[in-house]
Structure 1
Amino acid sequence: MPDRDEAKLVTIVETPSPNFNDRTLPVSMLVMHYTGMVDGASAIRRLTSSNAGVSAHYVVNEDGTVLRLVDEGKRAWHAGVSYWRGITDVNSASIGIEIVNPGHEFGYRPFPADQVAAVVRLTDEIRKRHDIPRANVVGHSDVAPSRKQDPGELFPWDKLARLGHALAVPKNATVDPGWTDSAFLVALERFGYDIEDKLAVVVAFQRRFRPELIDGTIDGQSRAILFRLLLDREQGEAR
């Protein structure tokens, strides 16, 4: 039985943005954002303003309404300077979803159930259209750790993971490989992160895979989680 959140098709409200250009890479990623503005209307105005120079393919409102700003065949301007698994033009390789939430600056709060359900359905449809691996469903903070915190530690990655749409936090991460801090950073790079900003990338990893404690400290639990993720990928379980 499919999850009831995936049983419905997404209803799209066309809200065109002029901010896009042509892709130079095939779609292989899905990047989650929060809008980080005081309300959804302000975010939509900015994302559709020709003066702003930013956009996304979709915006998901708190009531679950989904707006399409840019056609998936075009390159929206949502990721900025970013990197993931060898890709430096993340905008060309990705679909961007902006999820209405005031973010850390304006009163970060949990994402409502209707909004999460819409994000799940939209993610399911996008992944099927483009055959996007779970490991390439990422947060803005994953691809730009030195600049971004979104969608943040309250984003329900666990639900997406349970439905097969994102990597889960490994439950069997019990072995600390005992890496030095430098070796941990190399392992993060191997997993897919840009490690230029050492503290920021550790924080980004913890925000995604250990949201209950985001302190930037490379400890045994962080090493064990990353070690398990890399093992799962080598065994073909982290696609």
Structure 2
Amino acid sequence: MKIVPLLALTALVAGCATVPPPGPRLDHTLTARAQSDRIKYIIVHYTVSDTPRSIKTLTTADVSAHYLLTDTDPPFFYTLVDESRQANHAGYSSWKIYNQLNSASIGIEIVNPGFKETPEGRVYAPFKQSQIDQLILLLKDIVKRHNIAPGNILGHNDIAPQRKQDPGPLFPWKQLADAGLIPWPEASRVAARLPGFQEQLPEVAWFQRKLADHGYAVPQTGELDQATRNVISVFQTKYRPALYDGTPDAETAAILDVVTSPVPALPVPALTQEISVEPH
């Protein structure tokens, strides 16, 4: 009489200890040619705060970045989000064909107080040269690992010109160009175009079209509205930071024309066939 309950208990225990189904059978011997790195852009920000408060914001709030560059002496980077994961640093953003750049970018925050309003106007805080030196080292490393295109290192204001100012007019973009990281308008080409634009300034629609060609999200209305001024101002803070009032002037037109016009390729000399004369 005791054998039947024992057999039933054994069957019950065996049923509970089911073997999990096997995982998918994967073959890793093949790879597709049509693929690319997820990371297309690097976006540079400033924190508008000091290092302790920046750490707190970027680690406990709803915003984040992959890297935080301190203002300590010497400065160094906190790695806050692994590059394989998305950080929430770009927000509503656009550049060329990409929208919502969080998913396709690496975000770098630089500790910097940003700006303050004064009776004389808005005053921006400079960046420490030691911070820029560290930034260039990191940018070179990221560019090499992810094969970032030279035109894809941008400021937060480039991708969100209607709501962001960072990294501002004191960020030294020219140093990044000198380090071979970003393209830069050749001064001689700008100077060559300037007289023509001084003689006749293009219509607003020309500026809007050229800015869109460069990558900005800008209205195409032909009207110099505030949204268009904001984009022109952002462009000026990068390439002509001495004056960034958003006015479409001749110098801005010359710079914009150069950065949106590729350098003509040098003609390739024709190959000449060498004729050897054999002695008789």
Q: TM-score, normalized by length of structure 1?
A: 0.83
* Cα gap change, 1:216 to 1:93, in 2 (>3 Å): same
Question: Does 2:253 correspond to 1:223?
Answer: yes
Unaligned runs of 5+ in 1: 1-24
Question: Does 2:127 correspond to 1:115?
Answer: no
State the match for 2:45 in structure 1.
33
Contact 2:42 2:105 in 1 (8 A): yes
Per the TM alignment, residue 159 of structure 1 is displaced from its structure 2 partner at its CA by: 0.8
Larger radius of gyration: 2
Describe the superposition over 1:46-71 as per-residue Cα deviations: whole angstroms up to 9, x where unpaired.
Answer: 0000xx21000001112321110001
State the one-letter code of the partner of 1:187.
Answer: K
Mapped partners of 2:164, 2:114: distance in 1: 11
Mapped partners of 2:81, 2:172: distance in 1: 25
What does 1:1-239 align with in structure 2 at a 5 Å threshold?
26-37=38-49, 39-49=50-60, 52-62=61-71, 63-105=74-116, 108-171=124-187, 172-174=189-191, 175=193, 176=196, 178-196=201-219, 197-232=227-262
Percentage of identical aligned residues: 39
State the one-letter code of the partner of 1:113.
Answer: Q
State the one-letter code of the partner of 1:181.
Answer: V
Mapped partners of 1:158, 1:131: distance in 2: 21
Describe the superposition over 1:95-146 as per-residue Cα deviations: whole angstroms up to 9, x where unpaired.
Answer: 1000010001487322112111110000000101111111110100100001
Mapped partners of 1:60, 1:40: distance in 2: 9
State the match for 2:30 in structure 1.
none
Mapped partners of 1:88, 1:233: distance in 2: 28
* Cα gap change, 1:34 to 1:234, in 2 (>3 Å): farther
Secondary structure (helix, strand or coil) at the match of 2:94 reads coil
State the one-letter code of the partner of 1:34.
Answer: Y
Contact 2:86 2:102 in 1 (8 A): yes
Q: CA RMSD in A?
A: 1.8
Q: TM-score, normalized by length of structure 2?
A: 0.71
Contact 2:65 2:107 in 1 (8 A): yes
Moved over 4 A (4+): none
Mapped partners of 1:195, 1:234: distance in 2: 27
Unaligned runs of 5+ in 2: 1-36, 118-122, 220-226, 266-280
Per the TM alignment, residue 41 of structure 1 is displaced from its structure 2 partner at its CA by: 0.9
Per the TM alignment, residue 91 of structure 1 is displaced from its structure 2 partner at its CA by: 0.7
